[in-house]
Structure 1
Amino acid sequence: MGELKGMKELFAGRHFDREIIVLCVRWYLRYKLSLRDLVAMMAERGLDIAHTTIMRWVQRYVPEFEKRWNGYARRSGRSWRVDETYLKVRGRWVYLYRAVDRDGNIVDFRLSPKRDVAAAKAFFRKALRTQLRAPVSITLDGYAASHRAVREIPNEDEAWKRTKLRSSKYLNNLIEQDYRGIKSRTRPMLGFKNFDYAAITITGVELLHRIRKGQFALHRLNLKDRAAPAI
């Protein structure tokens, strides 16, 4: 992951104050605003900011904010509900794989250009790296590729040997409802023009979603040897 930069170093050389940058990035990720909405809102405060500048801030700072917050992340439960939804990038569908635990806490997510066995396995590997332990159970809907991925992945990594596969449309209502918060935010963004930009933006939206759910051990912010989150 690399050493985290200090806050002063992270924002060094920027024309606008750190508070303005963080505010624009947070509002863009949190509320149903387009980049041009934010430009208009900043203009009312006497600030002339181009929408492309805010877009660059999102790209530059979301990965840094995520690194900082992940240092305080709580591990999710071990009963995962997994599903995928779709978004458009340059007029083509891409797929957002997501998992929540039985309490609705976000386990992990991954944006993928494809929806197949390899994509599902890539998501499960990412989730394992995030959680540092495999789930006791994975609940899926009826999509065959994801079922195959769960059946095959124990042959590639023994960490998954004890994971049980369940299929239940009813139990997966939890994650389908959780998608609403993500889609309600991405809809006003008026479509993504670039896959990498979409992936970073979704990372920021998911981060704010996790913060609202209380998935971070904020009592640890008094540790003197760790950089506090900015967003």
Structure 2
Amino acid sequence: MQTLKINDKRHRFPSQIIAHVVWLYVRFNLSLREVDELILERGMDVSFETIRRWTVKFAPLIAHFLRRRPPCPGAVWYLDEVVVKNAGRSYRFWRTVDQHGVVLEEILQSRLDKRAAKRLLVKLMKRWGVVPKRIITEKLRSCGVAKREEAPGLDHWSHEGPNNRAENSHLPLRKRERMMQGF
């Protein structure tokens, strides 16, 4: 994960304090003088005009950083695949969704085997840098074998019912496919 770098050159306070003061002013509905009082309670004497200048200078940088940072995925991942035909050939469209409904990864593969499931799982863990607490899949054996090889301590549920979150994320694709009468 990236960390925000504020250039505190020619400033009396370190960048962590500047970032915290700007965050207080922007995040909460406080006036400059109220933020000044909060910082004074922590033993730092900063004028409200200095806080205003910091906000004008650093708030766009902080906002840009926060917009670029990807959201942290949830602890439960739903894996699902759908058969899609393109130019007469069948492909498997894999989609991974976390517990909040955020699409983590989409992969189009020509096979439905252990190697394909393993590739998806490795790509997911490498991209997000975390191993989920649990994955929920349909009753595909390839997902279970890939999970055993790549993440043996991972909890794996293999059911038809609880995978609705991933199934529902395929609906826009199916709707578009229906309108186009195939790809």
TM-score by length of 1: 0.47
Counterpart contact for 1:99–1:108, Cα < 8 Å: yes
Task: Identify if the C-alpha distance between structure 1 residues 184 and 144 changes in structure 2 by more than 3 Å, giving closer, same or farther.
Answer: same
Alpha-carbon contact 1:108-1:130 (below 8 Å) kept: no
Give the Cα separation in 1 of the matches to 2:177 and 2:124. 22
1:79/1:95 CA distance change after superposition, 3 Å: same
Secondary structure of the 1:114 match is: coil
Letter of the structure 2 residue corresponding to residue 182 of structure 1: L
Instruction: Confirm or deny: 8 A CA contact 1:76 1:106 kept in the other structure.
Output: no
List alignment gaps of at least 5 residues for structure 1. 1-69, 154-159, 193-231
> Considering only aligned residues, what root-mean-square deviation do their CA atoms show, in Å?
1.9
Structure with the greater relative contact order (CA < 8 A, sep ≥ 6): 1 or 2? 1
The correspondence for 2:154, drawn from 163, 174, 186, is: 163
**Alignment partners' CA distance in 2, 1:146 and 1:161:** 12
The size of the alignment, in residue pairs, is 117
Q: Aligned equivalents of 2:106 and 2:83: distance in 1?
A: 12
C-alpha distance in 1 between matches for 2:141 and 2:78: 15
Higher strand share: 2
Match of 1:130 in 2: 127
Bigger shift: residues 70-79 or 104-113: 70-79
Contact 1:79 1:137 in 2 (8 A): yes
**Do structure 1's residue 84 and structure 2's residue 81 form an aligned pair?**
yes
Structure 2 residue aligned with 1:93: 90
Query: C-alpha deviations, 1:133-167, integer Å up to 9, x for none?
Result: 111111111111122111122xxxxxx34311112
The higher radius of gyration belongs to 2
Distance in structure 1 (CA, Å) of the matches to 2:126 and 2:180 = 30
Of all paired residues, the percent bearing the same amino acid is 26
Who is 1:181 aligned against?
172
TM-score by length of 2: 0.58
